[in-house]
Amino acid sequence: SALAQRLKAAGVGLDRGTRPAADSVCIVLPLGVDATGAALDEGLDPTRTVALDPLFLDRQATLMCTPVTAVEARDAAWAALAATGLPVSVIHDSPGFVVQRVLAMIVNIACDIAQQRVATPQDIDRAVTLGLGYPKGPLEMGDALGAATVLGILDAMHAFYRDPRYRPSPWLIRRARLGVSLLTPEN
């Protein structure tokens, strides 16, 4: 992966075994899941596991620690990522990181607007790009991430929090299942 190449170029040693060595820091890249859930799902030691947001790794690195991640593991992961030249931030254990959560919610709101037929998908994107100055409309952003990815993030957050605000829009669900663009209008 591009991240592995950046880490190797920065002189960071990578463990390539099927199971991590006893002294390795384990970095997981979950979508919609917190660091605790990702560590436990993978059968990893949560004291040496940190999660890394897989979105936009070409621009930034956001680390998330479990409540029991050792300070040494956190600091080693931070140093390894900082050595690649990426800006690194550390957040608390929370499903969806920050970027995933915000983007998924923006896309889902746009999908709800399309589902309710308030505006056409193209008009929704045009209104957001012109009115808010976003480089892409929310449905185009959703297509860039992948409708299935956005749906997975929302499903994981909805399952964890059981909060209806994370319920995926029927528009998003259908298009993700069909494998079509979020800009695809109803016939």
pLDDT at 25: 93
- How far apart (Å, rounded) are the C-alpha atoms in residues 24 and 45? 10
- How far apart (Å, rounded) are the C-alpha atoms in residues 132 and 97? 23
HEC string for 112-168: HHHHCCCCCHHHHHHHHHHHHCCCCCHHHHHHHHCHHHHHHHHHHHHHHHCCHHHCC
CA-to-CA dists, residue 63 to 48, 146, 154, angstroms: 13, 22, 20
The set of residues, in sequence order, having a beta carbon less than 8 Å from that of 162 and lying 6+ positions away, is none
- How far apart (Å, rounded) are the C-alpha atoms in residues 109 and 121? 12
Domain 99-178 has CATH 1.10.1040.50: yes
Residue given tokens 């016939």 in the structure block: 187
Geometric angle at alpha carbon 16, from 12 and 21, rounded to 5° = 85
- How far apart (Å, rounded) are the C-alpha atoms in residues 68 and 93? 10
Over the stretch 86-117, which tens digit does the pLDDT of each residue have? 999 999 999 999 999 999 999 999 999 999 99
- How far apart (Å, rounded) are the C-alpha atoms in residues 115 and 67? 39
Over the stretch 43-78, which tens digit does the pLDDT of each residue have? 999 999 999 999 999 999 999 999 999 999 999 999
Domain 2-91 has CATH 3.40.50.720: yes
Over the stretch 132-183, which tens digit does the pLDDT of each residue have? 999 999 999 999 999 999 999 999 999 999 999 999 999 999 999 999 999 9
Rounded (10°) angle between helices 121-132 and 99-115 = 130
pLDDT at 130: 98
Of 145 and 6, the structure prediction assigns the larger pLDDT to: 145
From the centroid of its chain, how far is CA 44? 20
Q: What is the residue extent of each domain of the chain?
A: 2-91, 99-178
- How far apart (Å, rounded) are the C-alpha atoms in residues 39 and 66? 8
